[in-house]
Every structure is written in C-alpha cells, then in structure tokens.
C-alpha cells in the first residue's frame, strides 16, 4: 500500500501480507478511514503516523507468527478457544499483539 508523507510529499510503502495478499489497505483503512487521500485514493499521512503504522503492522506480523506457533504446538481449536474466550482482541490495534502474547502464555501456563 502506497502512502504519501505529508511533510515531504514522498511516497512510501506499507505492506501487511497474508497468504500473498496485501492486507494493509483494509487493515489501515478500518482504522484510518477519515484520513486525507489523493484523487487516486492514496492515503496521506504524517511521517510519525507512517512510523506508528509500520510498527503496528510489524507487531501484528509477529503476533500472527506466534499464533501459528501455538497452533503447531497445540491445535487451532485450543488456540482459538484461548483467544476468543479472552479479551485479547478487545483493545486498540496497537495493544492487541501484546495482549495476545500474554493471553496465550497464561492460557497455556507459560511464563510471559
């Protein structure tokens, strides 16, 4: 997903790929729908917002890998039960990865 940095007018890229599909437009669009866009739909944001989104996306990629690891160790059903009977996802998008990590560690009785 291309974004324009408002301070420099330069184009930068944010990628959040799941199974080869860039989910960044939906991921960011669900949270930044009221942002400015160019005529062609390119999102405009500050450098600090870009940096924040880049970190949030990275944290979510790490979170998805962690969930996949737990699924391999236990099962999809057990991991889903842990996540969806907790409030791990009931948080702002930037807080979810840490909450998921803590939830899984507590559910499977590991040190977090």
Q: Is residue 65 a contact partner of residue 20, using CB atoms and an 8 Å limit?
A: no
Classify each residue of 94-111 as buried b or exposed e, where b means 16 or more C-beta atoms within 10 Å of its C-beta: eebbebbbebbeebeeee
Q: What's the pLDDT at 33?
A: 57
Q: What's the pLDDT at 31?
A: 67
Nearest to 5 by CA among 35, 47, 38: 47
Question: Per-residue pLDDT for 74 more than 90?
Answer: yes
Average pLDDT in the chain: 90
pLDDT tens track for 10-55: 999 999 998 889 898 888 876 665 667 788 878 899 999 999 999 9
Q: Domain ranges in the chain? A: 2-107
Angle between helices 96-107 and 47-73 (to 10 degrees): 20
Nearest to 68 by CA among 84, 55, 79, 83: 79
Q: Say what the pTM is.
A: 0.86
5: tokens are 């940095």
């Amino acid at each position: 997903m291309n974004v324009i940095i408002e301070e420099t007018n330069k184009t930068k890229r944010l990628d959040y790929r799941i199974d080869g599909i860039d989910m960044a437009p939906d991921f960011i669009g669900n949270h930044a729908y009221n942002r400015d866009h160019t005529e062609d739909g390119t999102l405009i944001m500050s450098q600090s917002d870009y940096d924040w989104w880049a970190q949030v996306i990275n944290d979510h990629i790490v979170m998805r890998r962690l969930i996949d690891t737990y699924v391999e160790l236990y099962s999809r059903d057990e991991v889903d039960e842990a996540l969806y009977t907790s409030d791990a996802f009931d948080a702002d998008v930037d807080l979810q990865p840490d909450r998921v990590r803590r939830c899984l560690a507590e559910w499977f009785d590991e040190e977090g």
